[in-house]
Amino acid sequence: MELVRATEAAAIRAVPFIGRGDKNAADKAAVDAMRVFLGTVNFDGVIVIGEGEKDKAPMLFNGEHVGNGTGPACDIAVDPIDGTSLTAEGRQNALSVIAVSSRGTMLDASSVFYMDKIVTGAAGFGVVHLDQPIGDNLRALSQATGKPIGEMVVAVLNRPRHEGLIDAIRAAGAGTRLMSDGDVAGGINAARYGTRIDMCVGIGGSPEGITTACALKALGGFMQGRLAPKDDAERARAIAAGLDVDKVLDLDDMVSGDNTFFVATGVTDGGLVDGVRRKGPIIRTESIVMRGKSGTVRRVVADHLAAKWL
């Protein structure tokens, strides 16, 4: 619940900037709010995936210590707004996110911005693989789940780099759910039971990949990733940091062990959680909390007295 308070605060503070076209202002408001609340949490946290590295924000940078210094030693991944452009444009699926694991268990992939990923539910284990053509993966998953390919939906970021991938998905007979931003929700929905998304694929942010891996520890889903340096200089930095850019990473490579927590609060409405809503004198938030060790997923709906947030 201490982590939920931090994502709730970030989401609430971002609300005045929804649809206003200024993603940096929305991001700063969320960063400032999250940092204050993280400072009250009973843990000794070190940020492995930080907002400062990702968006050149002034706070929550890689290596920063957060928490009050008591309690367990933890690795932290933060994204005060996963989907700053979505927030600025007033579109769906913007989230405020925190992921936590035991100290030394979260892969520091900060030297490489992008990661190629594939995410499915538990049926994907031993069935799909990042190196297989997407058509083969879809046919294999269809056979494993008993779901016709024509009824399957694949989430993928709508980027020019994915034009060939999108064409191949459709050629195989599946539909696409094109995401304009924020692929954490896409990956989680691919692994969750009972959603319309069967698979999430493509190149997105490596920070988002590690964050998604923390959630999948609780969902029991399948995920693989491979770092995708954008040029030779970034590849050299990755190698210097001890990263294997050619290795197909599984969940334990990204986050070792099951002592993980994933917390997300909706900024705008989406398929994972509802966004922040003002209802008369209260502000209502919806959050999702996942714990890897117990495999539990909880939803937290909270009403906040608006007068306390003025």
Which residue ranges are tagged as binding site? 27, 51, 79, 82-84, 114, 159-161, 181-183, 205, 208
Three-class SS state of 42? coil
Buried b (16+ CB within 10 A) or exposed e, 64-75: bebbeeeeeebb
Give the separation between CA 228 and CA 157, rounded to whole angstroms.
15
Task: Read off the tokens for 22.
Answer: 């200024």
Of the candidates 187, 178, 137, 134, which has an alpha carbon nearest to the alpha carbon of residue 160?
178
Task: Report whether 215 contacts 262 (CB < 8 A).
Answer: yes
- Integer angstrom CA distances of residue 56 from 53, 198, 227: 6, 34, 21
Q: Which residue ranges make up the annotated binding site for Mn(2+)? A: 27, 51, 79, 82, 208
Q: Which residue has the tokens 């009250």?
A: 40
In single-letter form, the type of residue at position 150 comes to G
Question: Who's near 220: CB < 8 A, 6+ residues apart?
Answer: 121, 122, 191, 295
Could you tell me whether strands 44-49 and 65-66 are parallel, antiparallel, or unpaired per DSSP bridges? Answer: antiparallel
Residue 130's φ and ψ, nearest 5 degrees, are -60, -30
Q: Which residue ranges make up the annotated binding site for substrate? A: 82-84, 114, 159-161, 181-183, 205
Give the separation between CA 273 and CA 288, rounded to whole angstroms.
7
Distance between start and end Cα atoms, the chain: 22
Q: How many other CB atoms sit within 10 Å of the CB of residue 55?
A: 18
Task: Find the DSSP H helices in 173-271.
Answer: 183-191, 206-219, 232-240, 251-254
In single-letter form, the type of residue at position 158 comes to N
